[in-house]
Amino acid sequence: MTNILEAIVNIVENSSFKITQHASGKNRANNVGEALELYIKDSFANTLDVEEMKNKLEIFNTKFSWLGVQNHPPDIMIKGGDAIEVKKIQSAKSDLALNSSYPKSNISSSSPMITEECRNCEDWKEKDLIYCVGHTTDDTLKSLWMVYGNIYAAKHETYQKIKNIISSGVEEIPNIELAKTKELGRVNKVDPLGITNLRIRGMWQIQNPIKVFDYLHVCKRQSLKVPSNKTFELICIIPSIKYLSFSDISIRKIEGLSQDGFTIEDAKVKDPNNPANLISCKLIRYIL
């Protein structure tokens, strides 16, 4: 079984940051997003140097139980392991657009946002969630943040409460015809002819991890032995309890890396549910 430590080792040892656009179609933004998602799959599956897609897919089949469908989280699920959400940005500090899906500390098989196929792809109830946020050009990955949802997003109830209040308010509007929906609301036959419907959708955003964790991300270039004009950075924040739950083999692999620009250190981050509390974490950086 693969995990985030194995993915980091694969990225550091491979040190190739070109994202190949295998996706078809004329929508360039979607193509770049799919190319980034493929890079993340390759990182976790150790297929960054595998060229044939047929060979990649055979390995993916052994590593992953779910590879996602559009508009339904998550993007990737590791067999017996974590879930992964991949987010592409083309401005280093821009916020993340989550659209109708609010931020998640983890993902549950009972969530109404996931598909039935995802629910049944393996025997699972709840998975930790990794947000992989990539800043890209059209063909190159400039930076990658990997952050666990439980130190990034508040508990589900925080967002669900707001969603429920808005939906309840819509239901109180007199003389309208409501329809069942997974969105915030849907009103049918708004006009006298009954030919106009209103979809009420949430458009959630969350701040970029580079802003959220700016109190941690201080690049000490002299100690990291990296050039002043960096070409790539990988920043990963893992709760210490989670880090220690990985196999000794994976921990030895990552702690045995000696490449210039690679560091692991202890850090503390704010608890998303109560910033007065601090959560012990591992801060992993690879900067070239």
**Mean pLDDT taken over the chain:** 89
Share of the chain above pLDDT 70, in %: 92
73-99 pLDDT, tens per residue?
999 999 999 999 999 998 888 999 998
The ranges assigned to domains in the chain are: 4-156+204-287, 159-200
Give residues with Cβ within 8 angstroms of 238, minimum separation 6: 4, 148, 281, 282, 284
Strand partners, 145: 133, 235
Tokens 């589900």 locate to 156
Report the alpha-carbon angle 265-283-253, nearest 5: 75
Nearest CA to 272 among 209, 224, 230, 228? 209
Residue 246 tokens read as: 């990985």
φ and ψ of 233, to 5 deg: -140, 135
120-148 pLDDT, tens per residue?
999 999 999 999 999 998 889 999 999 99
